[in-house]
Amino acid sequence: MSSMLAFQPLLAIVSHIFFIGVAFYALQAIMPEKIIKKNRVIQAQILFILLSIAIGWAVSNFFLEISYWSGRLPFMFN
């Protein structure tokens, strides 16, 4: 049982990093030239990084919680 508890933080870290990467990749489809002011390249890059972290973290938490709660369903019927 303790090996399972040690595995969960590793799974959460990998999941967060994976979904942050996916969010960053997906945000590349947006054309920031039409939204961001001129000569604000650094600020636009920081915005994209922060948006990637926020979206990736939220999606990762969603999947981790679905996984956790679906694992708890059998205990409901005992």
CB proximity list for 46: less than 8 A, separation 6 or greater: none
Nearest Cα to Cα of residue 71 among 18, 19, 4? 4
Residue % of the chain over a pLDDT of 70:
94
Determine phi and psi for 49, rounding to 5 degrees.
-65, -45
Q: What is the pTM of this model?
A: 0.81
Q: What is the pLDDT of residue 4?
A: 62
For residue 42, pLDDT beyond 60? yes
pLDDT band at 57 (very low <50, low <70, confident <90, very high): very high
Q: What is the pLDDT of residue 60?
A: 97
Structure tokens at 39: 């000569």
Query: Can you tell me the mean pLDDT for 7-29?
Result: 93
Q: What is the pLDDT of residue 74?
A: 81
